Amino acid sequence: MSDTYTLYNSTVMDHFMNPRNMGDLKDADGVGEVGAAACGDIMKISLRIHDGRIADARFKTFGCGSAIASSSMATELIKGRTIEEALKFSNQEVVDALGGLPPVKIHSSELAEEALKAALEDYVKKHPAKAEQPVLASA
């Protein structure tokens, strides 16, 4: 087994090899795209929002296996959450749900948090009447 495989646990490998929610959402309600300055990886998250809740989420990631696994897990975790709940989303949830990431790869989970929050901000900008502005301001 190569060193690459020993770096990651089986949950991370599963989300890397069989990513959930990959792709775009046609006419998404909010889209966030961010890049990691340190490594150049890019992550995009698209959201479908119904009645203040995340009804669906998709991602496209140009980057390492850890970034793909983090975006896959993040999109799984946020489905069904309210906007308010999603604005409190933390990268630690991704790390915990993946069963841990190597310390040098923690920033890939931070990228997922940033992409999600960028998508929520995009939603709020496009739908100001539907979003709760005080909630966004406190995020």
Which residues contact ligand FES by CB under 6 A? 36, 39, 41, 63-64, 66-67, 107-108, 111
- Compare residues 46 and 61 and give the one whose CB is closer to ligand FES: 61
CA 24 to chain centre: 13
Taking the C-alpha atoms of 31, 60, 14 and 12 in order, what is their torsion angle to the nearest 10 degrees?
Answer: -70
Q: How far is the CB of 95 from ligand FES (least distance, A)?
A: 13
Minimum CB distance to ligand FES smaller for 28 or for 67: 67
Question: Considering the complex, what minimum distance in angstroms separates the CB of residue 36 from ligand FES?
Answer: 5
CB of 41 to ligand FES, least distance (A): 4
Containing 7, the helix (H) or strand (E) segment is helix 3-7
Residue 109 sits at φ, ψ, to 5 deg, of -70, -35
